[in-house]
Amino acid sequence: MSRIALVHSVSLLGKEVAERLAQRPDLCTDLRLYALDETMVGTLTAGLDGAAFVARVEEDCFADADLTILCGEIELDRQALALVPPGGRAIVASHAATTDDGLPAVAGVEEFSWLGRDRLLAPSPAAVGLIRLLAPLRPLGLRRAVATAILPVSERGAPAIDALFEESRALLALARPAKPAIFPAQIAFNLLPGTFPGEEVARQVEVALGLDGGGVLAVQTAQAGIFHAVTLSLQVELDRQIAPAALRKLLGSSGAGTLAKRPAALGPVQAAGEEELLVGDVQAAGAHGFWIWATIDNLTVGGAGNIVRLAEQLLRPGAAS
């Protein structure tokens, strides 16, 4: 029997995790829902056996949990994480979490470095996408990588989705949208500087891949007026020469992601709801450089999919810390 405590299960990511755990009786036989956010406490939501109430996080509530998964805002989730007893295992999947909150881990990548650790960080979806793209390129001699990650509003939760919808509806009706409450300016039909720092995305990637010394990757984030899926524009420099078509084929065969059938048409619309990172066009950029275009759903493969796969590894027999 595996008891999993899911904190802030009413968030967009929390709901996705709960739905997946409900489909995995082999992984989770007792799912307990908690929150520190008072708007979520007492909420009736989906559990393993139908409806379940979200309880308030209290001292000792994680004492008998085999695994605690945190899916809220990091300010509150840090308070909950402090109540996980020594030796208790936790996956921090909180919005705005950093490498200070846990060791970045992506299932299937460098697992020897994080198996047996008590605190894992489920990286930001942008970091998950970059980790999966860069991991198979290291044998080619990865010199340098620079990326722009275009983030969807669903990274900021349901209120951000509602804000984008209401702004879009107002603008299409030739009305003035309400004053922005979540983003610094109108987000509908717009592109703004990202609020989640690119330096933290790069740090998560470098730690997860064990890139000695860091400084290999630079990331800039941008906030777009789109609902779901992170879009990545990645430029890499390699020691070895390889044709763009061969590099793209390598990304597909290595398990990094699925090759888009129509690379020129690949965008967040195509990635939304997909269970794999989608790799688009790969173009040459000098003798040893390449541009790679890819997209990843932030709630499925970039979020809950990775979290559940991490849980599988942490809860499998013999994986106790």
**Can you give the pLDDT at residue 108?**
94
Rounded Cα distance, 172 and 169, in Å = 5
Averaged pLDDT for residues 181-200: 96
Q: Which sign does the torsion angle of CA 102, 110, 106, 229 carry?
A: positive
CATH T-level topology, domain 128-298: Dihydrodipicolinate Reductase; domain 2 (3.30.360)
Higher pLDDT, 226 or 42: 226
Higher pLDDT, 213 or 55: 55
How large a percentage of the chain has pLDDT more than 70? 98
The residues that bridge with 83 in the sheet, in sequence order, are: none
Classify the phi-psi angles of 229: left when phi > 0, otherwise alpha if psi is within -120 to 50, otherwise beta: left
How large a percentage of the chain has pLDDT more than 90? 91
Identify whether the C-beta of residue 3 lies closer than 8 Å to the C-beta of residue 66.
yes
Higher pLDDT, 286 or 272: 272
Under the banding of pLDDT at 50, 70 and 90, the label for residue 296 is very high
Under the banding of pLDDT at 50, 70 and 90, the label for residue 215 is confident
Higher pLDDT, 22 or 321: 22
Higher pLDDT, 82 or 42: 82
**Can you give the pLDDT at residue 116?**
87
Strand order through the sheet with 90-92: 55-56, 30-35, 3-7, 67-70, 90-92, 119-121, 103-104
**Can you give the pLDDT at residue 320?**
53
**Can you give the pLDDT at residue 170?**
97
**Can you give the pLDDT at residue 45?**
84
Rounded Cα distance, 246 and 283, in Å = 11
**Can you give the pLDDT at residue 318?**
61
**Can you give the pLDDT at residue 1?**
67
Averaged pLDDT for residues 147-170: 97
Identify whether the C-beta of residue 321 lies closer than 8 Å to the C-beta of residue 116.
yes
Residue 212 pLDDT exceeds 80: no
Question: What is the chain's mean pLDDT, rounded?
Answer: 95
The residues that bridge with 151 in the sheet, in sequence order, are: 223
**Strand 44-47 versus strand 50-53 pairing type:** antiparallel
CATH 3.40.50.720 for the 3-123+303-315 domain, yes or no = yes
Residue 50 pLDDT exceeds 90: no
Domain boundaries, the chain: 3-123+303-315, 128-298
Averaged pLDDT for residues 116-132: 97
Residue 321 pLDDT exceeds 70: no
Q: Which sign does the torsion angle of CA 221, 222, 227, 229 carry?
A: negative
Under the banding of pLDDT at 50, 70 and 90, the label for residue 29 is very high
Under the banding of pLDDT at 50, 70 and 90, the label for residue 147 is very high
Under the banding of pLDDT at 50, 70 and 90, the label for residue 319 is low
